[in-house]
Structure 1
């Protein structure tokens, strides 16, 4: 079955009017999804770029989202390195273990400052 250009244009216009095709809404969904998975702003930005969203839209969405990236980094860290039912992470054994934990958060897309903030929980618990 083939459709003419006019029919295709009308279908696309209808989808845009009903917000079925909406880059802003799609970008907001990507931010929420990334946040739920414990991803940082850099990883979410990269994913949005890979999905083809315009750079100015990406920056606008990230600037106006109400995510505390520092607290998300800490929550992600605690989810990964805490025992069941514990509110504190397992102790860092040595420098190698600390580096491994830092790499985990950096890979998730958090900045170095956010990673440092997440690891400060060890100092606070002493």
Structure 2
């Protein structure tokens, strides 16, 4: 008999296999007004699980995930460059966009998010 509900984590990982969805998911996390470092860590892990399955062997993916905490613990610009490299392994690129509307919403930014594969 099929379960009546679907596991949210399984659903999330499946939806994040679309690189555009993964990019928007990370963008939304980074827009938090009161950021929680553990929330960013969790979101990056989710994206790695989704995108890494097709790009890496299970061993490579596990190693990639294990490096994440070290990447996020690095100070300043070194941390930004490390995160950029970490994301590139998943087919994503950090980018800067002009915020022409200070109160932009997820919908308005969704059109400008670039995903590089």
Give me the TM-score of the superposition, normalised by structure 1: 0.27
Higher helix share: 1
Q: Which structure has the larger Rg?
A: 1
Give me the TM-score of the superposition, normalised by structure 2: 0.28
